[in-house]
Amino acid sequence: MGLDTKLLALADQTLWVTALIAAPVLLAALVVGLMVGIIQAATSVNEQTLTFVPKLAVTALVFVVLGGAMMALLSDFLREIMAQIATIAD
């Protein structure tokens, strides 16, 4: 396995872990933003700050509920990367 292949596999794994960590927060904010947007369209209330507070609250809730799992995934990935550093240069 060449150095290029190892680095590409590492980059692929990095992008996958990043997507797994970011997806819950982004999806929750997207759903709340969509719901608030629909409510704003139905009631003709066009206040920009109205969407910020619910998104902030849901984002904080997602971090409270899933923050431990996100950090476990990130720390496992970091341990694996540190173990692979020596083999990448070989």
Distance CA 51, CA 47 (A): 8
State pTM to two decimals: 0.79
What backbone phi and psi angles, to 5 degrees, belong to 89?
-75, -15
- Helix 49-88 to helix 3-43 angle (10° resolution) is 170
Model confidence pLDDT, tens digit, residues 51-65: 899 999 999 999 999
- Report the distance separating Cα 10 and Cα 26, nearest Å: 24
Helices (H), the chain: 3-43, 49-88
Compute the mean pLDDT over every residue in the chain, rounded to the nearest whole number: 90
Per-residue model confidence (pLDDT) at position 1: 62
Q: Does pLDDT of 90 surpass 70?
A: no
Please give the structure tokens belonging to residue 19. 């997507």
Residue 49 confidence class, pLDDT cut points 50, 70, 90: confident
